[in-house]
Structure 1
């Protein structure tokens, strides 16, 4: 009787384990129809097709992995539109992660979180994590940086914003769409928080403090600074015509700016500045490029393994060499190849927590962009008096603590 009872218990336990088994086990066992789709950045399909072929060969994989170029900047829109038809693995900017997780369309990284945490930078790991769980597989970092004409500005000149603009004209976007991407991190540079210390607290923004008011005053002062020029769509033409000697742009601007400046080209991290309460390092937003797995994938084990490979040290090295994507991998960031690249070395330095602000990834950021742009633009154009700045920032903090309907 004891043996029968034990056998029955074993059968029941096994049945329960099978019934409650994870999607990772049950669905990945269906090999007959197994194939994966991978969405990659525009212009990178040829490179990734070769990388995927290498992955398949090294792991004796026989199933199809289809590589498709997609507008990764619209990943959250494209995935949410039809998750069943979307790619199993897709590239995305990390700031969309919160929206995707809240929509239930991203599969948690249940197998490779330790490897990613050990091998990547602190902020890259934070970018791949949302509400304490890891969903992403980081493979690159990017930020704005300072490009300048070294015949008009020396390395000493660009140490502070004040010495830079005393010597030559600076061009940046202070009043048009996109200005908040450049200027909002300056509030964090001056000891304010954007959505709390970890960027995930909707009620944690502190732009309406004395330090925040000082930043808004600083922005207003640039509107009266003869050596600060509004430049956005015309930034490259103004640089080419010699109207400005320094600009901010990201890795995407490197090729054109270097072509314009030629031998006069130089690049550096942001300077320091005094917002009115002591000298601070000006910080840009840091963006992290992630791979993520679609929650609707029929084959999560294989999808996670592919995302893990694409974010590995080996893959990041190839991606840097062939596409110029600056790695998030710690060892690669300190490699001779990366540090020998002027732009990459600047981004590596900028990606340190003391030099940049990880762009928040919570859904409330959708509300933040237009509201912060209005406040920044009004200050720069002289449409906001100093006496009204505190109340304006109070309203900004309130308005951006919720997701726009």
Structure 2
């Protein structure tokens, strides 16, 4: 999955070192070092359990564990032309697995770790990471998708079943709906809803096909026209139009937004910055939308996040990196990340037996969304994510640059043709 997400602090470069007798934030680094690339918001959770890792794996107690803040969606780019200079351990979204596998960056899990993973994690997560019968990374979360957050003082549970209703309430109250139309990850939601497909044929990534140029794609782009375009809605240009791509947190905090579409990762920030968030802000599966007399459900990409080991590092270091990745994705590690960030675990014992996690409304909504309308997020063609990809016509509708639905449909056909690949 792409992201995740530009919202995962792609530019953060904060460092923390923990090792030997060193306190958090400092180390003489005289011994061996394991560098970990990790989302900023998850670092505190993993830092706390480093002593437990060293207790479980005393052979690696001499290692200094150095964290560098880096969102999952940024790792592929950060590895650059020479991935051997990157981190020893890093977290990635599911839709980066094929590309990194083809670059020989991912260290396959040895049999002992493979047995651990297949015993403790949900089958979807490790099966997704299995390429040519090898598991290429440790499942870390099973929560990578999006759904609706809404202000329950402005909208009812019945209101949020329909995008038409949400939009009409927002218009009547002169308030807004947050939707990141500058990101193909979210823009895919209407296309998923109408039944479009977009995938590589297999891990070789030699053939990519899509039905964006099908009747289903045309229905989705027409729906975007109906809901988003300033021309259709006689609305002023963003950011004052009803549907905007401004962040939901400040909008909720200031009382200007009534709903928005994000994933589990947004909840910790909402709780911190929005007064009375735990009683005021609710979640629901994505609403239905209408186009051409038909009703569809908005859909989500979904997948897992993984902790991977860099296969291009020193052979002496890789065993320690594998042990660290195993521990960060163990029950203890996944619980630490949940406590720090509200991330949904892939660990079966946590999802089935931990009462707090079982009853967590955010995680329950994510799983309900996947069950209702979800599309497994494998790697996408580069053109899918590009500024000239599917987000482009939607962004131009929202800003008033796209003047007719016919133009939008023609542009979508061009986009579909440009991202199809057949090198078989």
What is the CA distance between 1:218 and its match in structure 2?
0.3
Q: Separation in 2 of the partners of 1:36 and 1:148? A: 41
* Structure 2 counterpart of 1:268: 284
Residues 201, 292 of structure 1: alpha-carbon distance in 2 compared, 3 angstrom cutoff: same
The runs of 5 or more residues in structure 2 that have no matched partner are 1-30, 236-240
The alignment covers a number of residue pairs equal to 367
Matched, 1:41 2:43: no
The runs of 5 or more residues in structure 1 that have no matched partner are 1-32
For 1:345, what is the secondary structure of its paired residue? helix
Residues 215, 114 of structure 1: alpha-carbon distance in 2 compared, 3 angstrom cutoff: farther
- Superposed CA offset, 1:340-361 (max 9, x none): 3222322233344x43233332
* Structure 1 counterpart of 2:105: 105
Q: Separation in 1 of the partners of 2:274 and 2:386? A: 31
* Structure 2 counterpart of 1:279: 295
Contact 2:179 2:245 in 1 (8 A): yes
Q: Separation in 1 of the partners of 2:261 and 2:356? A: 24
TM-score (norm 2): 0.75
* Structure 2 counterpart of 1:336: 355
Contact 1:43 1:69 in 2 (8 A): no
Q: Separation in 1 of the partners of 2:379 and 2:249? A: 30
Q: Separation in 2 of the partners of 1:116 and 1:277? A: 47
What is the CA distance between 1:261 and its match in structure 2?
5.4
What is the CA distance between 1:210 and its match in structure 2?
0.6
What is the CA distance between 1:390 and its match in structure 2?
4.5
Residues 255, 58 of structure 1: alpha-carbon distance in 2 compared, 3 angstrom cutoff: closer
- Superposed CA offset, 1:3-60 (max 9, x none): xxxxxxxxxxxxxxxxxxxxxxxxxxxxxx9764433332544532442321221233
* Structure 2 counterpart of 1:369: 386
- Superposed CA offset, 1:206-226 (max 9, x none): 111111100100000012358
180-189 vs 152-161, which moves further: 180-189
Matches for 1:246-325 after TM superposition, within 5 Å: 246-258=259-271, 259-260=273-274, 262=276, 263-276=279-292, 278-297=294-313, 298-299=315-316, 300-325=318-343
* Structure 1 counterpart of 2:153: 151
TM-score (norm 1): 0.78
- Superposed CA offset, 1:101-152 (max 9, x none): 2222222234334543454345533553457643121212233221112122
Residues 339, 160 of structure 1: alpha-carbon distance in 2 compared, 3 angstrom cutoff: farther
* Structure 2 counterpart of 1:394: 413
Matched, 1:231 2:237: no
For 1:248, what is the secondary structure of its paired residue? strand
Contact 1:216 1:379 in 2 (8 A): no
* Structure 2 counterpart of 1:182: 186
263-272 vs 213-222, which moves further: 263-272
Contact 2:206 2:421 in 1 (8 A): no
Contact 2:337 2:343 in 1 (8 A): yes
RMSD, aligned α-carbons: 3.2
* Structure 2 counterpart of 1:57: 55
Residues 230, 46 of structure 1: alpha-carbon distance in 2 compared, 3 angstrom cutoff: closer
Q: Separation in 1 of the partners of 2:58 and 2:115? A: 25
- Superposed CA offset, 1:222-267 (max 9, x none): 1235897232236444444444311222334324544435243222
- Superposed CA offset, 1:266-301 (max 9, x none): 222212333447433311223532110111132434
* Structure 2 counterpart of 1:160: 162
For 1:181, what is the secondary structure of its paired residue? helix
Rg larger in structure: 1
Q: Separation in 1 of the partners of 2:196 and 2:135? A: 26
Q: Separation in 2 of the partners of 1:198 and 1:126? A: 14
Matched, 1:74 2:74: yes
